[in-house]
Structure 1
Amino acid sequence: MALLEVKDLEVQFPLGRKTLQALYGVNFTLDKGERLGIVGESGAGKSVAAFAILNLLSKPGRISAGEILFEGRDISKLSDTEMRTLRGNRISMIFQDPMMTLNPVLTIGTQMIECLKAHRDISDEEATRISVAKLREVMIPSPENRMDSYPHELSGGMRQRVVIAIALLTDPAIIVADEPTTALDVTIQAEIMELMLELCKNHNVGLILITHDLAVVSQVTERIMVMYAGRVVEEGPTQEVIQRPQHPYTRGLIKALPQENVPGARLNQIRGAMPSLDAIPQGCAFNPRCDFCSEHCLKNIPDLIGKGDHHAACFKVDEMAAFQSNQIGGNS
């Protein structure tokens, strides 16, 4: 049995007399210690999927269909009180901006001790000992002194290390990281992702990494799930998907990476933009931006199909594979 199993998840946002759908039939699993990357542009539905797992959807957003099974229990049906025993305890989350996560008027130590005591019946002394140990584990120098620091006294990278330490305080089974390095500069990003990878391996923690950065996903995750307009359009082993993308959207994301371009040349880009929730095209939602679009794509929604562990929701998988083979042959 998978540690986490999401089945046919749908999320809606009622808006006046109409209802906007943010997720359509999303399915995925996460095993203990496994690292899954969820990739896509802004508006693809990545964060909505993560917030649905933790029951953190902004009102009036709601789970309209599907199940979220954690250790075999459907947590989408839990009350707020029951969910609080899981959130921050068995399932932790790391948000984009640590300054929005940490309380600016409380010391790091106060926040960590309060977090621990909210989920465990322990003394202040024991909570302090665990907190210092976690700060030391995320490579924060002089952790005993940092317990008395306020968030604004730390650098961005240090603040994010503190947030990771807080996420690990209760020895969770799963960490959901929503764009955890977006607010950091490039050199610090690499350090934080390397740290997260090492910690997840050491603690056998499952990781759901939400990002738009395929380069980060390729270094950290074992499986990848590509989302577009609220649907999963491709999924499979990370290296398999990156080396042999079967969906035109995934191919476009990979082609847009700087390392895929000739130095000094104009970067590749996917034309157009992600559709808004109230303007999803008929048929395949990617059809206005797709180089392989046909009349069939304008009227029909493709299912997620494939061989083995690699699946894609595209009618043109074979055509795209032949096109890529011709490109490789032409470049050799």
Structure 2
Amino acid sequence: MEPLIEIKNLRVDFALRSGIVRAVRNVSLTIHKGERLGIVGESGAGKSVLGFSIINLISKPGRITDGQIIFKGEDIAKFPYEKMRTIRGNRIAMIFQDPMMTLNPVLTIGTQMKETIHAHMKVSDKEAEAICLDKLRKVYIPSPEKRLTQYPHEFSGGMRQRIVIAISLLTSPSLIIADEPTTALDVTIQAEIMDLLLELCKTENMGLILITHDLAVVSEVTQRIAVLYAGKVVEVGPTRQIIDNPQHPYTQGLIKALPQMAGGKKRLNQIPGMMPSLLDMPAGCPFQTRCPERIERCASDVPVLFESPRGAQVACFVREGGR
């Protein structure tokens, strides 16, 4: 089956006065139609930059310096701005962390939704309104006719995020990129939003890239997980395989750091040290300065992903047997 989107050796750099920051380093990932992929890692690992780069929303001085993003047979990484507009928000939609950064506070929900439709589809205003109402119902917004006339400040945080999801569905995209979509919401609302995304992926047969630092969330929603560290994929594979039997020492550290892993009144586990600066990456494996299992080779060579006998791809010399 042909992939919906295939990321090949993607590299994203930021040219700063202090030097080149390589935020995404030779990342390769594949997502099929209807598949749900989670991208996890610490803050600064490059998760959001990877998501933005897929729809070419990286602000200067950042830019894609190498690699391909093949979407339905075309390399959209090389699309000019105007051509990319036919993809962004249309075939590929994005849901951001804060809905108030997406919604215009001085326009009604109806106006904003119709503007999105008219930007990508040639339909009448009446047809556009019918599409708006249909999508609001799909995300379980009560009294959708009334909601179209209201402003963003009249909604709760959870309702605003539902509206943003409805907007992302307006053009029936093939892929949704959700960047920490529940960060600003309380736990109960978080669960409702994630259940909604899961349901929509199944009913609409959409692909989903869920970007988050929360392994508990991806374990409930996604089918596969890619673990990012310092801009590089260190482990990727089936969700249950990675949650139940992580191979890379970094993935093991993330799972051990979950509150439920501590139990009782024990102190939370944590990974010692900090992720290295992307301006001053150490030689060898980027995780070696924090790794409890490092071997001599880790200080000089950079490991690449290999097929683990346990079902995942792992970038670790120790798991390769020190070869």
TM-score (norm 1): 0.94
**Which structure shows the higher helix fraction?**
1
In structure 2, the partner of 1:255 is: 256
Q: Is the 8 A contact 1:255 1:269 kept in 2?
A: yes
Determine whether 1:130 maps to 2:149. Answer: no
Q: Secondary structure at the match of 1:22?
A: strand
Q: Is the 8 A contact 1:43 1:276 kept in 2?
A: no
Letter in 2 for 1:186: V
In structure 2, the partner of 1:311 is: 313
Deviates more, 1:310-319 or 1:117-126: 310-319
Q: Secondary structure at the match of 1:302?
A: coil
In structure 1, the partner of 2:122 is: 121
Aligned runs of 1:158-307 on 2, under 5 Å?
A: 158-307=159-308
Structure 1, unmatched stretches of 5+, are: 321-332
Q: Secondary structure at the match of 1:272?
A: coil
Letter in 2 for 1:46: K
Letter in 1 for 2:226: M
CA deviations 1:257-296 (Å, max 9, x no partner) are 1111121111111111222211222111111111111222
Mapped to 2, the partners of 1:2 and 1:84 lie a distance apart of 22
Q: Is the 8 A contact 1:25 1:231 kept in 2?
A: yes
Mapped to 2, the partners of 1:318 and 1:188 lie a distance apart of 42
Q: Is the 8 A contact 2:308 2:314 kept in 1?
A: no
Go from structure 1 to structure 2 and tell me whether the alpha carbon gap of 1:215 and 1:319 turns closer, same or farther (over 3 Å shift).
farther
Q: Is the 8 A contact 1:175 1:206 kept in 2?
A: yes
| Offset at residue 72 of structure 1 (A) | 0.8
Q: Is the 8 A contact 2:226 2:236 kept in 1?
A: yes
Mapped to 1, the partners of 2:186 and 2:319 lie a distance apart of 37
In structure 2, the partner of 1:155 is: 156
In structure 2, the partner of 1:87 is: 88
Q: Is the 8 A contact 2:19 2:279 kept in 1?
A: no
| Offset at residue 17 of structure 1 (A) | 6.7
Mapped to 1, the partners of 2:277 and 2:148 lie a distance apart of 44
Q: Secondary structure at the match of 2:86?
A: helix
CA deviations 1:224-267 (Å, max 9, x no partner) are 00000010000000000111111000000000111111211111
Q: Is the 8 A contact 1:96 1:180 kept in 2?
A: yes
Aligned runs of 1:34-45 on 2, under 5 Å?
A: 34-45=35-46
Mapped to 1, the partners of 2:131 and 2:21 lie a distance apart of 44
Q: Secondary structure at the match of 1:317?
A: coil
Letter in 2 for 1:93: M
| Offset at residue 319 of structure 1 (A) | 7.3
Mapped to 2, the partners of 1:25 and 1:38 lie a distance apart of 15
Give the number of equivalent residue pairs: 320
| Offset at residue 18 of structure 1 (A) | 2.8
Aligned runs of 1:7-26 on 2, under 5 Å?
A: 7-16=8-17, 18-26=19-27
Mapped to 2, the partners of 1:77 and 1:200 lie a distance apart of 28
CA deviations 1:30-63 (Å, max 9, x no partner) are 1000000000011111111111110001101111
| Offset at residue 303 of structure 1 (A) | 1.1
Deviates more, 1:291-300 or 1:12-21: 12-21
Mapped to 1, the partners of 2:235 and 2:89 lie a distance apart of 30
The runs of at least 4 consecutive aligned structure 1 residues that moved more than 6 Å come to none
CA deviations 1:205-232 (Å, max 9, x no partner) are 0000000000000000001000000100
Q: Secondary structure at the match of 2:279?
A: helix
Q: Secondary structure at the match of 1:279?
A: coil
Mapped to 2, the partners of 1:262 and 1:125 lie a distance apart of 56
| Offset at residue 200 of structure 1 (A) | 0.7
Q: Secondary structure at the match of 2:140?
A: coil
Letter in 1 for 2:32: D
Mapped to 2, the partners of 1:226 and 1:95 lie a distance apart of 20
| Offset at residue 317 of structure 1 (A) | 1.8
In structure 1, the partner of 2:108 is: 107
| Offset at residue 318 of structure 1 (A) | 6.4
Q: Secondary structure at the match of 1:47?
A: helix
Deviates more, 1:246-255 or 1:289-298: 289-298
Q: Secondary structure at the match of 1:278?
A: coil
Structure 2, unmatched stretches of 5+, are: none
Q: Is the 8 A contact 2:257 2:271 kept in 1?
A: yes
In structure 1, the partner of 2:54 is: 53
Go from structure 1 to structure 2 and tell me whether the alpha carbon gap of 1:199 and 1:143 turns closer, same or farther (over 3 Å shift).
same
Q: Is the 8 A contact 1:234 1:313 kept in 2?
A: yes
Mapped to 1, the partners of 2:282 and 2:190 lie a distance apart of 35
